[in-house]
Each structure stands twice: as C-alpha cells, then as structure tokens.
Structure 1
Amino acid sequence: MASSKTSRRPAITIGKGEHGRLTKLAEAHASKNPDVSDELLQELERAHLVEDALVPPDVVHMGSAVRFTSDLGEDKQVTLVFPAEADIAEGKISILTPIGVALIGLKRGQSIDWTARDGRTHRLTVETVHASEDFGKAL
C-alpha cells in the first residue's frame, strides 16, 4: 500500500547554496524535530539544483513571500523564513514546519500534498511568489 509520502510530487528547484544551508539545518534539528527534518531532507534530495542566482523568480526559496490556496478553502500569504525569524502573527513561517517544507522549491501554479502535524493530508497550490531582494545577502 502506497503512503502519501510516496505519492507523485511536483518537480522542485533549489539553489545550490541554499540547498547546503537547508541540509545543515535539517541535520542539526534531526533529534529535536525528526519528522519535519526527514521530510525536508527528502525534498532536498529530490530537488533540481541550480546556481543560486539562476533560481527563477517564481520559485519559492528562503525569504519568498508566497500566496497559496488550499483544499480547505484557505487563501494565505506567508514568508518562508529560517526558524529564528519565524513569527506566525507576522505571517513568517519556518522552513522547519510541514507547510514550510511543502512550499520550498515550488513554482507559481504548482500544487503539492502535505501532511499536517495532526496527520491529515492537505493540498496547497502556489498562486504567487515574490522574492525578497535582500534576504540572502544577510546569510
């Protein structure tokens, strides 16, 4: 029986430098948050890698402002950030959350199934992506 983790996933693109930083982050948090760390590592493993400067502007990366819709009828705008900058009240979601992992590397128009912390599977669709020009410069 196939699990939702083995269901077809859309192609994703990640910059090589960001890939390295996210791999280290996932490995560092493996003992604290093993499920999400494993999911992130799986996504990173399957990603198409390009030079950071060549990541298309409509691809979700760290610091991107993303508007997505979900199968629950949600229409949300969030910014994908590293854990230290996460602030749900400001719409800043950590890459080390199930939805953060689901968003990384997707481009506008793509959809993905993701498993919430309550174990239920949901589907989200990326509607718009706006890159932060200065996010990567501080890293």
Structure 2
Amino acid sequence: MTDIVPHVTAWLRQRLPVERAASQHTCETYAYAFQLLLHFASQKRSITPSALQLEHIDAALVLEFLEYLQRVRGNAPRTRNARLTAIKSFMHFVEYRVPSALEQINRVLVIPNQKTDIRLVDHLTAEQCQAILTISEDAEDAYSR
C-alpha cells in the first residue's frame, strides 16, 4: 500500500504552484476538490483521511464520488468536470512517482467528462456592442500601420 499524504502534499505545494505555475485560485480549487474527495473516500472506506492509501482512490471510487457530487451535493456537470480535472491532474503527477500504480491510474484517467450545455449569450448591451466594435477598430489600426 502507498501512503497518499506525501503525494498530495507535493502536488499541492510543489507541482501546481511552482512547477506548473498554477494560479492561487487553481491551487485552492484543486485543494478543495481533494478535500471533498478524501472526505468522501474516508467515509466510504470507514477510515480516517490520513489513513487513506493511493490504492483506495480507484476508478470505481472516483465514479461514485462524481455521482455523489451531482446527486447529493447538487453540483452541475461543469463543477463535476472541474473536480474530475483536479483528480486527473493528481493522477498524472502520481504516475511518475508510483509506477506500480499505472494500471489503476490509467483507469481513472480514462473517465470522461460529462457533456455540458453551451450557454449562449441572450443579448449584448449597448456598451458591450461598443466595446466589441472598439476592439475591432483598434485591431484594424494596428494592422494598417
């Protein structure tokens, strides 16, 4: 069994902010996604979050977690996909650190995003229309020089 704590710590403190130059908002969002996941996993496995092992976070658990987000927490598909993106980012990080878990990791990585509706703009205000026209005029001026 592989202790998950040092990997989560390295991912949140080194990989995301330093190596990937992720924004503070991204780091906080990913950390919150893992807070939810670890809490969910610890309840499902009946162990404390600090006792969780990497092997506990398998594709079946991740799928249950994603379903929980939508059915119990009422999250929209976009939010579900954002949480899945955080989990996949972590799994990509771990695949280089724990090669013995590659099969488990690959099963998580192939979980697809859920389709989302594309929100259309209902209308633009006069100010928004003017801003778009101004941008396009500025672009024309820049190209004509």
Question: What is the TM-score normalised by the length of structure 1?
Answer: 0.30
Larger radius of gyration: 2
Calculate the TM-score normalised by the size of structure 2. Answer: 0.29
Q: Which has the higher contact order (CA 8 A, sep 6+)?
A: 1
